[in-house]
Structure 1
């Protein structure tokens, strides 16, 4: 895809140490933004990741993994240890997390063409002091780039609830596309329905809000309308990276429709449910491929095309 626009992802890399009952530990490259960057590159999108990686075996593992898909990896050179997450999987493949993470991202030297689109979220926008660096960079790029955000809430690391909500809402207001799981929304706004949250977020700035519902599929919200699709039936290996694969699939579809970049912003603001349904279908299919195999391994273009050929369409 030589004409693919340049995409920039900003956020953490994490070494996921996966523990399942009766099985030895497995270490997988992870971190929500890193997974999104990897997924975009596997789908043929020219992608750069700004992140922190330590000079340690986990850092080398993750860098090699990302570069194997074509991700350009830029780091701040701080030498901080590579973050780790212990991922516990139950017999149904559902994940719980424990973390050893510091996020102190400093300025990163970035050369080359300006990005068409910037994606961020997760711990990178929640943990100080690095979160301030991330938000400053997004603000500096927003005039020339569309922006997407996924809060990817990790309650154990979010700190004070009210402060975490304010930070998330600041990121939402900077964004054109926001994706959140129903679990994220329940933590952020326990007394509000996903529909209410999506409507309020849309009024603060984004053109579209995507809400994932696990095995129940996903819903995309526009001002005044919504479109939903179910998740195709799959045998789940684990759910690690499912939401990130959804995000990369959605961004890939938006790029294919010419809706990323400052010049695509007007198109995002005039999205109809038919086109948005296609975006949602790509995102759900990408997640379905990922949960069917171990670790955060999103599809490449051929695998996504095969999944789409066997998937279901959106329901209005």
Structure 2
């Protein structure tokens, strides 16, 4: 039976909803309680999967306490990659990505000299609108956008996959995880989701990690790294007649990808605005308040206003957590005021 020794809940009132064995638990509440759990001496690995900026403080405190982190929260590295990776280096802990693309890159780069890397190539399924024209996409409903052809995921990440913002986030993540400039990270459309990502070396060799589109495999890799454990699920049949398609992304049809590249190149607090504006816009779309193609407009307007009117940090100075959280708060306020439906 599943009987955890400790649990953290957001609010005190939620404690009464715990199972009947709660008397055997140590119950913590709020962010401080979550920090108590992730920094406990008996904890070896922390899985960071709280979406948005709410996961910042617990994840950072876990790293500072010397805990390795399996990172499922894309926003942390998008918004505060410099802070997270600097803390990890200082504490000497591993940050293991909990997604198929970055775990593919992680394995392809094993034993390689980063100076020998020509570029990273992240693959994207293309989402449900790969073969749709822009006019059709203007009229897409939330239900249609949530019908992903390959992966069964949560609503937010499924919409981000449909806009290709998810892949844009992964470009910024890869920059921080592997120390490769955004300009040397490319995206290709691969509808079959068999090639999970690739690394091109300066001598022309391309290393690829392949496997079935089954998240159990990368999750197990992250949980057991640096060891590997035998897995109970069926093995990948490499003898099948695979039809592997690789296409360039259509930036006009999927402008969110270009917005992510722009934020990643400029850096400072702009990626935080990108992430938060996307969160707000996707939520509004799911509620039927804005159309699908209005999502990139909300994000682009927020980024443009922030870049013009907000004091941008010196790109050569260290990014602070307070600056990231301030940009997050600014973007939420801007989106609510500029786009009442959001």
TM score, norm. by length of structure 2: 0.30
Whichever structure has more helix as a proportion of its residues is 2
TM score, norm. by length of structure 1: 0.31
Please tell me whether Structure 1 or Structure 2 has the larger radius of gyration of its CA atoms. 2
Whichever structure has more strand as a proportion of its residues is 1
